[in-house]
Chains A and B, each alone.
Chain A
């Protein structure tokens, strides 16, 4: 490692960072577990190629609205430099790594560029600048986050400041109850916040309640912006130092997430766009400390990625409906692989297989289903697609796929598939979804065909 170069006078805010008299309002939502799992997969299993699987604990998501009047560094080099305030609005997903419970924070809005830059650089906090409106502590009202987004992608779409999230009082909805808070947190393997709020106390070093936050920290490659020059999975420890007060938020609320193409929060979490109910809510005023992070995984040097050309993809039957420009978009998200005969692409039963879908550009691939039996095996040829089942449901690989000859393949991993599905080119998204659907339907038909043959043989 070499020294981080600071410009003269630059504030580094090295941890530990004390957050004093933070007023936090926390709204608990029930999201779609499958979507949460897919989101975790993209960030963690995908990045680490399965080395660090992270799973949501349940279907819960916390929307955390934190007003922090004073953040200061306790590091000897920075402690005397001053302090700052910050508003910090984020979504927290309780997740598990093995038996440990942590919070994964996929979205975080802050009100200052310094907080944004330092947080991103230090921990990989996925911070965006936001503009906030909220009722004063203790009062009910509408909470609003505005951020720079694009509503609908288009060549003429101009990014503008618009509402991306609102929490509104909802008269018709059920009020939050003590037992709701207790149950949602215990279901997620967390301490009941109302219990420690009730204790209203100060902890000493060593016995402070602690919770760990989880982040993906990354930098784009300057020569190939589709690749990461550096990626790291980071854990940031948060310790509660003192509780000053808090309790239930008694007003019932609901969350509104206007559809913004560049910020598809509702879609990614499986929340309703218009009026998603808050299950439970509480507020707390407390001091907490964010300590130095811990690196759980770090990317090593890797060879430059090679992409297929649009010309190579043009010969693929499955992509016959793609225009030249659409093939170029597709090629940008794909990677090229050249393999010797005998190379195993995926193994039946393999979990966390990240590579997604393969397209054979040259050569042949044996697709063998050991569990189903040889009757269900086949050899795929040039122009064919394989690997779609696991791409769609993120499950185990359904077959072992081995290069039968020297083989050139183009792969589309789950991150690439997601990027295209949510991308600005709707035709590519639509046609790609059709490619996957047709291939699955063909697999399905082949399976029914094999079963029929098998059934007639069994007579």
Chain B
């Protein structure tokens, strides 16, 4: 349910929210304009925010044995950074590109938890379901098998990319 002023791109996060909760989440997010193929999240580095793509394209890549391997791209409505936001662990891939992002960092999430706890609960629930779905898709690909390298890349792309 999208309230007024809440972009459709937030749908994946707002599906358990009332319009008021969705508006509270939107208000907690900062808007970030990114230009010139800027790196937003760096593989192996700390990251304390979740990003939602509003506009533009962001490529996902990681270095494996010193070689850069590409794992698809994030487009409108896709998320990244949620793992680090949840566990405080370093990012698992580079994300770079140009466009407009919504950014929810740990402090903003804590503040949302205080001002609208039901919105925070609904957000974490949506993130949880999203993660579970991606782990499942990865499992399905692994079961399907295939040539090892292509298989691993495909699974990685499912996990880290927009799933496209």
At the interface, is chain A mostly helix, strand, loop or mixed?
helix
Check if B135 sits within 8 Å of A447, measured CB to CB: yes
CB contacts (< 8 Å) of B117 on chain A: these are 426, 430
CB contacts (< 8 Å) of B127 on chain A: these are 437
Cβ of A448 < 8 Å from any Cβ of B?
Answer: yes
Among A272, A442, A455: residue with most chain B CB under 10 A: A455
What is the size category of the interface that chain B forms with chain A?
A: 35 or more
Closest to A391 in B: B132
A376 to B142 Cα, complex, angstroms: 11
CB contacts (< 8 Å) of A395 on chain B: these are 136
Check if A437 sits within 8 Å of B65, measured CB to CB: no
Check if B139 sits within 8 Å of A448, measured CB to CB: no
Check if A434 sits within 8 Å of B124, measured CB to CB: yes
A395 to B117 Cα, complex, angstroms: 28
Interface string of A384-409 (1 = CB under 8 A from B): 00001100110100100000000000
Interface string of A440-459 (1 = CB under 8 A from B): 11111101100110111011
Check if A433 sits within 8 Å of B83, measured CB to CB: no
Check if B142 sits within 8 Å of A440, measured CB to CB: no
Closest to B160 in A: A448
Check if B160 sits within 8 Å of A437, measured CB to CB: no
Check if A441 sits within 8 Å of B133, measured CB to CB: no
Q: A442-B87, A448-B160 are known contacts. Are A371 and B142 too (CB-CB below 8 A)?
A: yes
Cβ of A415 < 8 Å from any Cβ of B?
Answer: no
A455 to B64 Cα, complex, angstroms: 7
Q: A426-B117, A441-B86, A445-B87 are known contacts. Are A273 and B18 too (CB-CB below 8 A)?
A: yes
5 of the cross-chain contacts (CB-CB < 8 Å) are A395-B136, A429-B121, A440-B135, A448-B159, A455-B69
Given A441-B89, A445-B89, A451-B156, 16 more pairs with CB closer than 8 A: A372-B142, A392-B132, A421-B125, A429-B121, A430-B113, A430-B124, A434-B86, A434-B124, A438-B86, A438-B87, A440-B135, A442-B87, A442-B89, A444-B159, A448-B93, A454-B148
Chain A interface residues (CB < 8 Å from chain B): 259, 267, 272-273, 371-373, 376, 388-389, 392-393, 395, 398, 421, 426, 429-430, 433-434, 436-438, 440-445, 447-448, 451-452, 454-456, 458-459
Shortest Cβ-Cβ A-B pairs, 4 listed? A441-B86, A392-B132, A456-B65, A440-B131
Chain B interface residues (CB < 8 Å from chain A): 1, 16, 18, 62, 64-65, 69, 82-83, 86-87, 89, 92-93, 113, 117-118, 120-121, 124-125, 127-129, 131-136, 138-139, 142-143, 148-149, 152-153, 155-156, 159-160
